[in-house]
């Protein structure tokens, strides 16, 4: 059947182009980066918009909604926050609101349930949203024998799942209190954000015997300037405007995978459009009831 054969050929060509784009992204990511094998050096990666396109918290919320574990009103709120994250607008007030909401919707649920569901959601919604370029840089650190951590305001359980799936050393994240195996809806300590994120990295470096002057850090957000300023080799990845200006002024490395290829930009637009579309669909369905 000529039509079917033509579709297969087009699909094959698209797959080849996708593989070529990943290879190009990988080559570009590690170009000019030389990392000596150094037991006292490590790398710290922010998660949302740095390693993962969009917000990990939204993907978790979306997956829980699909399983009937989250209300429609909550997923609509997360949809709006995802659009803000997707375009790099990490307003501190929005982040605090998002994390507080995350704590509220896991309250009363078991630690075991969140871990199990989180594994499933990673496979369903997050695995294909990872930035290949950032992954390549993380792998470069690993190949040089350096330890690599995710450092994020997202719940530590979610961050740990992603770190394990990527073969990283571990993760630092916001810790939700749990008693007798169930979440209470309260935090243990502070939200891991801004200065608190930097403090957590400093404490980890002391425990692990790391020399921060030999370490690297990667983030998309100006909120992480305190963490980036701690290390000898900071890098702005997919930076927001404020971080881009700061990085240029300081002479920091900049990697932006959003504009590297036209299809990357289109992919981002498609992702945010899907969120908006899902929200519209949910609203329409509710109006028909």
> Are 154 and 78 contacting, i.e. CB atoms less than 8 angstroms apart?
no
pLDDT at 88: 46
Chain centre distance of CA 200: 18
pLDDT of residue 39: 79
Domain boundaries, the chain: 33-255
Task: Check residue 282 and give its pLDDT.
Answer: 35
In sign, the C-alpha dihedral spanning 127, 148, 132, 250 is: positive
- How confident is the model at residue 65, as a pLDDT? 86
200's tokens: 């957590």
Pairing outcome for strands 253-255 and 176-179? unpaired
Tokens representing 106 are 């896991």
What is the distance between the alpha carbons of residues 247 and 13, in angstroms, rounded to a whole number? 38
Distance of CA 170 to the CA centre of its chain: 14
Comparing CA positions, the residue from 285, 288, 282 lying closest to residue 78 is 282
Angstrom distance (rounded) from CA 205 to CA 203 = 5
Provide the pLDDT for residue 269: 36
1: helix, strand or coil: coil
Q: What is the DSSP string of 64-99?
A: HHHTT-S-HHHHHHHHHHHHHHHTT---HHHHHHHH
Say what the pLDDT of residue 1 is: 57
Query: Phi and psi of 130, rounded to 5°?
Result: -80, 140
Residue 184 φ then ψ, to 5°: -90, -15
Residues 6+ positions from 128 with CB-CB distance below 8 Å? none
Nearest to 62 by CA among 146, 10, 126: 126
Per-residue pLDDT at 16: 58
Residue spans of the chain under pLDDT 70: 1-37, 74-75, 77-105, 259-289
The DSSP result for 46-63, as a single string, is --BTTTBSS-HHHHHHHH
What's the pLDDT score for residue 200? Answer: 96
The burial class, CB within 10 Å (0-12 / 13-18 / 19+), for 267 is middle
Instruction: Name 215's Cβ contacts closer than 8 Å, sequence gap at least 6.
Output: 41, 42, 43, 44, 205, 230, 231, 232, 233
- What residues are labeled active site? 46, 48
Superfamily grouping for domain 33-255: HAD superfamily/HAD-like (3.40.50.1000)
Contact criterion met (CB below 8 Å) for 19 and 11: no
Q: How confident is the model over 84-102, as pLDDT tens digits?
A: 544 544 555 655 565 565 5
Phi-psi region of 188 (alpha: psi -120 to 50; beta: other; left: phi over 0): beta
Note the pTM of the prediction, 2 decimals.
0.75
What are the pLDDT digits (tens) for 144-169?
999 999 999 888 989 999 999 999 99
């Amino acid at each position: 059947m000529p039509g079917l054969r033509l579709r297969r050929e087009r699909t094959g060509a698209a797959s080849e182009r996708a593989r070529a784009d990943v290879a190009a992204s990988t080559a570009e990511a590690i170009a000019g980066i030389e990392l000596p094998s150094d037991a006292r050096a490590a790398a710290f990666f922010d998660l949302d918009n740095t390693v993962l396109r969009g917000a990990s918290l939204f993907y978790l919320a979306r997956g829980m909604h699909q399983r009937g574990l989250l209300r429609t009103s909550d997923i609509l709120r997360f949809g709006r926050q995802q659009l803000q994250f997707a375009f790099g607008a990490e307003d501190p007030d929005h982040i605090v609101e998002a994390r507080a909401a995350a704590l509220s919707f896991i309250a009363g649920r078991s630690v075991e349930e969140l871990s199990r569901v989180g594994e499933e959601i990673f496979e369903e919604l997050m695995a294909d949203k990872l930035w290949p370029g950032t992954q390549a840089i993380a792998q470069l650190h690993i190949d040089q024998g350096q330890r690599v951590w995710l450092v994020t305001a997202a719940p530590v359980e979610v961050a740990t799942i992603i770190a394990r799936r990527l073969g990283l050393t571990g993760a630092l994240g916001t810790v939700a209190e749990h008693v007798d195996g169930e979440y209470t809806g309260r935090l243990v300590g502070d939200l891991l954000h801004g200065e608190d994120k930097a403090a957590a990295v400093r404490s980890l470096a002391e425990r692990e015997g790391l020399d921060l002057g030999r370490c690297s850090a990667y983030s998309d957000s100006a909120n992480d300037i305190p963490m980036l300023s701690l290390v000898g080799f900071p890098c702005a990845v997919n930076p927001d405007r404020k971080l881009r200006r700061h990085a240029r002024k300081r002479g920091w490395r900049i990697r932006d995978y959003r504009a590297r290829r036209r299809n990357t930009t289109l992919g981002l637009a498609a992702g945010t459009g899907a969120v908006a579309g899902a929200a519209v669909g949910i609203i329409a369905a509710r109006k028909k009831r």
